[in-house]
Amino acid sequence: MNKTKKVTLSLTDLWSNFEEIQSGLSNREAVEEANRCLYCYKAPCIQACPTEIDIPKFIKKIASGNLKGSATTIMLSNPVGASCSRVCPTEELCEGACVLNDSTKPIMIGNLQRYATDWAIRNEQILFEAGEKKGKTVAVVGGGPAGLSAARELARLGYTVTIFEAEAQAGGLNTYGIVSFRLPQAVSYWEVDQVRSLNVEIRTNTRVGQDISAEELLERHDVVVLAIGMGKVPMLGIDGEELDGVYDAIDFVKRTKTNALTNEFIGKRVAVIGAGNTAIDGATCSIRLGAESVKILYRRTREEMSAYDFEYEFAKQDGVEFRWLTAPKRIIGENGRVTGIECVKMALGDPGQDGRRRPEAVAGSEFVIPVDVVIKAIGQSRYIEMIEGFGLTHSDGVVMITRGTFQTSNPKVYACGDVIFGKGQGEAMVVTAAQQGKLTAHEIHKQFASVTETV
């Protein structure tokens, strides 16, 4: 249901390639679409939204011209609702559940959500107020979607909240990890400001374990919320990884959002390893930086890849080539710079532990693709050191929680977002992180409320 502008890439003005590609709805489009919504009771779209936004309610408010009320409805349920309006896989969530799918077309819920939140951003609205002070302090480690969401909700409930953020800006993935042409930083900054406006202190450039210790946080606060997400792309473990021209996809995308855009990719041949959403981001950013050709190498097939369908379609339209059943064997270089990548053809064998068919190398099928740049996007590593700094039980860096309470092995520490994703726990979407943050806040509140009651 996206309304995408036709992109003509420029080699002289790279910035223009990174402008948001999807234009917002016009007033008329929004009102027409809002009036098309049936305003279902106990609507399936609400049930399909991980943050349970009352979707018919916010749409009805667009129809009635109550845009502040609409934005408030959205942001109350989802503290990063403006970002989610742009990055949620709506076809699989709210719009996929819309009752109009069968009879006509689903309501453009994502675009309407963007319309209402864009209005709030443009009109500099402050939508919430801090609750009456409870005299309890909470440290939130990590200012990404989960941390912001927990902080916003805790502040609304009257807790004194401090966010400890390692980067120069809060927002996490929304600020640094999602490509600008899908999610401009200004949207993420506005969401951060909404949290800050509730007197939440956000201490940026503050890395826990380095600038402040875990013990200190535990000592000084009644509760700690660990929402540190995930780290860099892990090593491939093949030759040539140290060569110039090999990039971590997360870092690579971050650079397109923070630094002046570089000209060094113009005319270059790029190989991206992996086929998740981050791989797609690495590939489409390369195209927008002027790369001549971009190939995504994946050891399995289209069926197994984890990128959303709309991301796959988007990459194809951008001219990204996909090489299925292709695994890297070594990165080849000359004078310390990448010149090619040696790959081997794979075939799918029997299903592995995760149920997916395991790729196996086809003997003697090695071949070399000449490339200038290799971008690694094979997942993310975990901040195990920090997790252990808090002394928390984890499984390969996935912090273990009591299901439903978000409480870790240390009752004073809660965890939410990507740090608890994996090993059968949680989901990796921004919207899930937001919901977990919100629920974590409610669980903390419940804990204190029950303590007070029993006293």
Partner 1 sequence: MADLKINLAGIESPNPFWLASAPPTNSGYQVQRAFEAGWGGAVWKTLGDPILNVSSRFAAVSFNGQRVAGFNNIELITDRPLEVNLKEIYETKKRFPNHVIVASLMVEPKQDKWHEIVKRVEDVGVDGLELNFGCPHGMAERGMGSASGQVPSLVERQTYWVKEAAKTPVIVKLTPNITDITATAEAAVQGGADAVSMINTINSLMGVDLDTWNTIPHVDGKGAHGGYCGPAVKPIALNMVAECARHPRINVPISGIGGISNWKDAAEFLLMGATGVQVCTAAMHHGFRIVEDMIDGLNNYLDSKGIASVREIIGKSVPRYSDWGDLDLNYKIVARIDTETCINCNKCHIACEDTSHQCIDMLTDTAGKSFLRVREEDCVGCNLCSIVCPVDGAISMVELPSEIAPMTWNERQAALGALSNCETNITK
Q: Which stretch binds partner 1 (CB under 8 A): 22-30, 196-204, 234-242, 384-392?
A: 22-30
Compare residues 65 and 267 and give the one whose CB is closer to partner 1.
Answer: 65
Choose between 61 and 394: whose C-beta lies nearer to partner 1: 61
> How far apart are CB 26 and partner 1 at their closest, in Å?
8
* 41 makes contact with partner 1 (CB under 8 A): yes
Q: Does 182 bind partner 1 (CB under 8 A)?
A: no
* Least distance from partner 1 to the Cβ atom of residue 61, Å: 5
Classify residue 188 as exposed, middle or buried by CB count within 10 Å of its CB (0-12, 13-18, 19+): buried
State the nearest-atom distance from the C-beta of 218 to partner 1, in Å: 39
In the complex with partner 1, which residue's Cβ is closer, 68 or 134? 68
Geometric angle at alpha carbon 152, from 151 and 158, rounded to 5°: 85
Told to check if 447 binds partner 1 by CB under 8 A, we report: no
In the complex, minimum distance from the CB of residue 112 to partner 1, in angstroms, rounded to a whole number: 15
Q: Which of residues 147-166 bind partner 1 (CB under 8 A)?
A: none
Q: How far is the CB of 64 from partner 1 (least distance, A)?
A: 4
Taking the complex as a whole, the smallest distance from the CB of residue 384 to partner 1 amounts, in Å, to 47
Calculate the dihedral angle through the C-alpha atoms of 384, 386, 388, 391, rounding to the nearest 10 degrees.
Answer: -150
The contact mask relative to partner 1 for 58-97 (x = CB under 8 A, - = no) is --xx-xxxx-xx--x-------------------------
23 binds partner 1 (CB under 8 A): no
User: Which 407-426 residues touch partner 1, going by CB under 8 A?
Assistant: none
Footprint of partner 1 (CB under 8 A) = 26-28, 35, 39, 41, 57, 60-61, 63-66, 68-69, 72
